[in-house]
Structure 1
């Protein structure tokens, strides 16, 4: 966990931003009176597996029998049967140290409640504002990387092609 200091940032888009949707307006200042902690890494498949094994929890993808995956050939997101939290972004089996995917908000909230009960500490999902504040890392601008419409080449690395993290994704 890392503690992010109190502070604030401008969240949302101004009326002059042609790329922004209505849900991003109006721009407004968000202030955090207290710092908060956030994990430096995603929850892994192995950690999430311990939750499923301990609780027997059935995830949304399990109940529905499918999830959405990224098809490398077409470059599109497609629905694929039989994909659940044990799969990676493309539907193939994920390694134990990979970030868990195919998890709904309700699934993630159940994991946080279980982890809180198990450890005696309080865990929850970050709010949208907290997550954006963390991603911006004190930087201002239209996007987390600045004002340029196109992000830097190594950001948004969905397929893991340039990833240097331990999981490779």
Structure 2
């Protein structure tokens, strides 16, 4: 994702998808919007990331040769090579991050970067998000049944699922209002 793809303003956070796997790229770019009160702390967390990333690039400046910036990427750090992160690299990264917070996969299973897609779709559906929104945010065609292979229909909604995906569900504003009162 490019830095210019992430837009923050008073209404929330928008991600403009510049390129998507398997999609006709002459179409209008999809814009995913998360309202400012959708996921509490998201804005602050992204600010922390941006500060750490920018510091890493500044501190690395003397070791880089001219013309090798890479700073257009939102996620990329100076020591990472290549234009895109490979799936195998993303799997190592997410495995390390999950291990760091004490999250281990179920016996016989494993977590990969692709697990985030399955997990997000499952959590969203568990908290009542419509299939239309799950497909839109997950990049699935509205007419495809492929999304069904990603959703665990036995998942039971919990507080964490609601925290991250509840804002997508119908009536989330009124539920948010009720919890404040």
Tell whether the structures are fold-level matches, with TM greater than 0.5: no
Give the structure-1-normalised TM-score: 0.27
Structure with the bigger percentage of strand: 1
Structure with the bigger percentage of helix: 2
